[in-house]
Amino acid sequence: MNKYESIIIINPSLEEQGVKELVTKFTDLINSDGKVESVEDMGKRKLSYEIKKQTEGYYYLFNFEANPNFIAELERIYRITDGILKFIVVKKEN
């Protein structure tokens, strides 16, 4: 298993409960095929450019271990989830 980090930007129009549900959803998803080491709430921040008519977003940083073939599935689910504005998954150097 490799180490990865992923940052997601969540739509600020979601209520606090909706944001927590998304974070829980992705934590459980990653734990199904790997292991979440930490989830950091980076808070609500102003975006450098408008995304889907939004100028702010909730930032979350996930540090986790997973199999390389799981990353494509994780990114697919990020893409089809309504509350996600942007995401990135990066493999960490060992």
Q: Walk along the chain (94 residues) and give the pLDDT tens digit of each residue.
A: 899 999 999 999 998 899 999 999 999 999 998 999 999 999 999 999 999 899 999 999 999 999 999 999 999 999 999 999 999 999 998 6
Q: Which of 37, 40, 41 is nearest to 58 (CA)?
A: 41
CATH number of the domain at 2-91, out of 3.50.50.60, 3.40.50.2020, 3.30.70.60, 3.20.20.70?
3.30.70.60
Q: What are phi and psi of 35, to 5 degrees?
A: -150, 120
What integer pLDDT is reported at residue 22 of this predicted model? 92
**Contact status, residue 48 vs residue 63, Cβ threshold 8 Å:** no
**Rounded to two decimals, what is the model's pTM?**
0.90
What integer pLDDT is reported at residue 94 of this predicted model? 67
What integer pLDDT is reported at residue 66 of this predicted model? 93
User: Helices 68-80 and 16-33 meet at what angle, rounded to 10?
Assistant: 160
Domain boundaries, the chain: 2-91
